[in-house]
């Protein structure tokens, strides 16, 4: 049943499911973050650096931001489709958002991995 919903017969289902999965991933990360912050309680720069230094935590944080940007891309795309009726303006706005989101992902990657 689920596989049938993800076929070309229902084109919006993949995007809908992607947005829901990204939301679940963000909630799980935020709950884990709150739990770890309650346990470690970093209070200065050195403790924050120690908190963010494990590779697995940086990877989880990167997954969070990829989920956030995917969620935002799908949401903004739907808003543009619903409220911007001029196709050229919609395309320009969507390309602008796409470039900004890719830039944000690069920025987060640089910060997390100290490139």
C-alpha to C-alpha distance for 86 and 84, rounded to whole angstroms = 6
Which parts are annotated binding residues for a ubiquinone? 83
Which parts are annotated binding residues? 71, 83
Q: With the C-alpha atoms ordered 42, 53, 24, 28, is the resulting torsion angle positive or negative? A: negative
Q: Say if CB 26 and CB 67 are below 8 A apart.
A: yes
Which parts are annotated binding residues for heme? 71
State the CB neighbour count (10 A cutoff) for residue 73. Answer: 20
Q: Say if CB 37 and CB 31 are below 8 A apart.
A: no
């Amino acid at each position: 049943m689920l596989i049938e919903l993800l076929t070309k017969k229902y084109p919006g289902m993949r995007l809908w499911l992607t947005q829901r999965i990204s939301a679940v991933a963000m909630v799980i990360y935020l709950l884990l973050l709150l739990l770890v912050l309650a346990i470690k309680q970093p209070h200065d720069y050195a403790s924050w650096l120690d908190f963010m230094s494990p590779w697995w935590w940086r990877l989880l944080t990167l997954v969070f931001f990829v989920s956030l940007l995917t969620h935002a891309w799908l949401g903004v795309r739907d808003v543009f489709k619903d409220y911007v009726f001029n196709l050229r303006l919609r395309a320009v706005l969507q390309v602008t958002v796409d470039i900004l989101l890719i830039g944000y992902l690069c920025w987060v990657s640089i910060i997390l991995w100290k490139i």
